[in-house]
Amino acid sequence: MLTDKEIFHLARQDKPYRVSDGEGLYLEIKPDGSKYWRLAYRYAGKQKTLALGVYPEVGAKMAREKRREAKALLAANLDPGLQRKVEKLTAHLSVANTFEAIAREWHEKRENGLAEITANKTIKALETHAFPLIGSLPVLAIEPAHILAVVTSIDAKGKGETARRVRAWIEAVFRYAIVTQRLKVNPASEIRSGEVLKPVKEKHLDSLPIAQLPSFLRSLEDPSKHVDYRTRLALRLLALTFVRPGELNWAMWNEFDLKAKEWRIPPVRVEGKGRGMKMREEHVVPLSDQAIAIIEKLRALTGGYRFLFPCKGDPTKGMSENTLRMAIQKGLGFPVTAHGFRATATSALLELGWDAHIIDRQLAHRERKKVFGAYSHQAEYMIERRNMMQSWADHLDKLEKGADIISFHAA
* Given the residues 342, 357, 361, 385, the one annotated as active site: 342
Tell me, what DSSP letter sits at residue 310? B
In the residue annotation, 175 being an active-site residue is answered as no
Whether residues 229 and 114 share a domain: the answer is: no
* Given the residues 17, 365, 381, 386, the one annotated as active site: 365
Around Cβ 61, how many Cβ atoms within 10 Å? 8
Query: What angle (nearest 5°) sits at the alpha carbon of residue 171, between those of residues 169 and 172?
Result: 65
pTM (predicted TM-score): 0.55
In the residue annotation, 201 being an active-site residue is answered as no
CA-closest candidate to residue 138, choices 189, 162, 103, 164: 103
Whether residues 166 and 250 share a domain: the answer is: no
* Given the residues 167, 236, 244, 275, the one annotated as active site: 244
Category of 355 on φ-ψ map: left (φ > 0), alpha (ψ -120 to 50) or beta: beta
Whether residues 247 and 365 share a domain: the answer is: yes
Rounded-to-integer distance, Cα 411 and Cα 401, Å = 23
Q: How far is CA 279 from CA 178, 194, 368, 371, in A?
A: 29, 31, 12, 15
Whether residues 272 and 246 share a domain: the answer is: yes
Whether residues 156 and 63 share a domain: the answer is: no
> Could you please report the per-residue DSSP string of 78-138?
--HHHHHHHHHHHHHHHHHTBHHHHHHHHHHHHGGGS-HHHHHHHHHHIIIIIIIIIITSB
Residue 87 lies in a domain: no
Residue 20 is inside which H or E element, if any?
strand 17-22
* Given the residues 12, 146, 325, 339, the one annotated as active site: 339
Whether residues 335 and 303 share a domain: the answer is: yes
pLDDT, residue 140, reads 87
Whether residues 35 and 134 share a domain: the answer is: no
Which residue, 196, 226, 254, sits at the end of a domain? 196
Residue 358 lies in a domain: yes
In the residue annotation, 66 being an active-site residue is answered as no
Residue 147 lies in a domain: yes
Bridge partners of 40, per DSSP, are 49
| CATH code of the domain containing 106 | 1.10.150.130
What is the number of domains present in the chain?
Answer: 3
Judge contact between 346 and 363, C-beta under 8 A: yes
Residue 52 is inside which H or E element, if any?
strand 46-55
| CATH code of the domain containing 342 | 1.10.443.10
Residue 82 lies in a domain: no
In the residue annotation, 342 being an active-site residue is answered as yes
Whether residues 236 and 133 share a domain: the answer is: no
Whether residues 157 and 303 share a domain: the answer is: no
Whether residues 374 and 267 share a domain: the answer is: yes
* Given the residues 110, 273, 325, 386, the one annotated as active site: 273
The size of the chain, in residues, is 411
Judge contact between 321 and 246, C-beta under 8 A: yes
Residue 215 lies in a domain: yes
> Could you please report the per-residue DSSP string of 165-223?
HHHHHHHHHHHHHHHTTS-SS-GGGG--HHHHSPPPS---BSS--GGGHHHHHHHTT-T
Mean pLDDT in runs of 10 for the chain (411 residues)? 84 91 91 92 89 90 91 87 72 68 87 64 90 89 89 85 88 90 85 64 71 94 94 96 92 95 84 49 92 96 94 88 92 93 93 90 64 45 94 95 56 43
Residue 158 lies in a domain: yes
In the residue annotation, 165 being an active-site residue is answered as no
Residue 406 lies in a domain: no
Judge contact between 233 and 294, C-beta under 8 A: yes
**Domain range holding 70?**
4-77
Q: What's at 2, amino acid-wise?
A: L
Whether residues 239 and 360 share a domain: the answer is: yes
In the residue annotation, 43 being an active-site residue is answered as no
Give SS3 for 236: helix
Bridge partners of 205, per DSSP, are 336
